[in-house]
Amino acid sequence: MASGGGIGSREGAGGARMTREQSRANTRERLLAAARSAFARSGFHGASVEEIASEAGFSTGALYSNFDGKEDLFLELMEREIDEHARELADAVRARASVAERATGGARQWMTMIDREPELLLLFMEFWAYGVRDPQVRPKVAARFAQMREVLTRLIADGVREFDLELAIPAEQLAVAIDALADGIARQKLADPDAVPDELMGTVLSLLFSAVTRPAAGTDTRSEA
């Protein structure tokens, strides 16, 4: 096992020598990969720092020299996972011909994630329940969940601008409602898959957008010949 994270030069892929910064970055990446595996397997509370460090091939000293502990590891992992999902969501909705198609594309991407990585969603739920009970942790948890709402807010604002629409409520509030809907759909799908058709979220989102959007003032809504 390595005894520390990123101290001195180390050999990387192909035998190339790594700088101190590269070695530290490599250690962090291995610890995060091991943490993701351990959390998925055992849950946030079930996974231990000893298990994570051992799986990464390091001592617990290396873990604590790179992270404050299990909670810090999880928060960074959560931030990365949300960033990745945000990129996938943005790719799924951009360059579509209507608000309804964007809603359907985004919903399909969310349902795909539920099927592909159910353990990740369960981890987020577990950590949310843990975090909101602790006044010291709650702001950190809130900041991670705010990442997704900020992404949704930008996507909504982009669609409103591109399709010359107005919203009946602020984009930020609509993003909160959509995020809550997505979380609720995920919980229902994980508990009782047969009760939640894959197209349900897209249908509900399309209806929601239809209800809260209207042509912007001054927009010519007449059909063109």
- Give the dihedral sign, CA 209/214/216/220: positive
Of 173, 179, 172, the closest CA to residue 205 belongs to 179
Q: Is the pTM of this model over 0.85?
A: no
For residue range 113-161, what is the model confidence (pLDDT) as tens digits?
Answer: 999 989 888 888 888 888 899 999 899 889 988 988 999 999 999 999 9
- Alpha helices (runs of H) in the chain, residue ranges in sequence order: 20-46, 49-56, 60-66, 70-93, 99-116, 118-132, 138-162, 171-191, 200-212
Q: Centre a 10 Å sphere on the Cβ of residue 22 and count the other Cβ atoms it contains.
A: 15
Q: Note the maximum CA span of the chain.
A: 74
Quickly count: other Cβ atoms within 10 Å of residue 120's Cβ: 18
Instruction: For residue 2, name the pLDDT band (cuts at 50, 70, 90).
Output: very low
Does 9 score more than 70 pLDDT? Answer: no
Treating both helix axes as pointing N-terminal to C-terminal, what angle do 20-46 and 70-93 enclose, rounded to 10 degrees? 90
